[in-house]
Amino acid sequence: MLFYHRTYHADAILTGGFKDARDTYLTDEEHTGVWLSDRPLDINEGADGDRLLSIDIPEEIFKKWEWLEDGKPYREALIPAQVVNTYGPPIEVCE
């Protein structure tokens, strides 16, 4: 299944793979990973960046790290970079 990642660091990701981001993401704990979504997101949904990448990852892998939130019209997951990179490299999506 194709998943999407918006970024300002597309060249680095395309040549060296994804790196884990680290933040609390509005929780009490620190989390690490790569944010992926089931459709292209933009700044209105919290995805900042000037380029869009896609990567084909099995849905069961996505589900393992999925962040479920009621009322969201899209799905997203925070997946460890090491896992994401085993399914790469990503490709750039022309918008």
Give mean pLDDT, residues 50-69.
96
Sign of CA dihedral 34, 86, 7, 13: positive
Residues 67-77, mean pLDDT to the nearest whole number? 93
pLDDT tens readout for residues 14-53: 999 999 999 888 788 999 999 999 999 999 998 999 999 9
pTM for the full model? 0.92
pLDDT score recorded for residue 4: 98
Q: According to the model, what pLDDT value does residue 82 have?
A: 98
User: Which amino acid belongs to residue 7?
Assistant: T
Say which DSSP state 64 is in: H
For the chain, which residues make up each domain, given as ranges?
2-93
Q: Give strand ranges (E) for the chain.
A: 2-7, 21-23, 31-37, 51-56, 66-67, 76-79, 91-93
Q: Are 36 and 84 in contact (CB under 8 A)?
A: yes
Q: How far is CA 20 from CA 2, 11, 17, 23, in A?
A: 19, 16, 10, 10
Is residue 69 scored above 80 in pLDDT?
yes
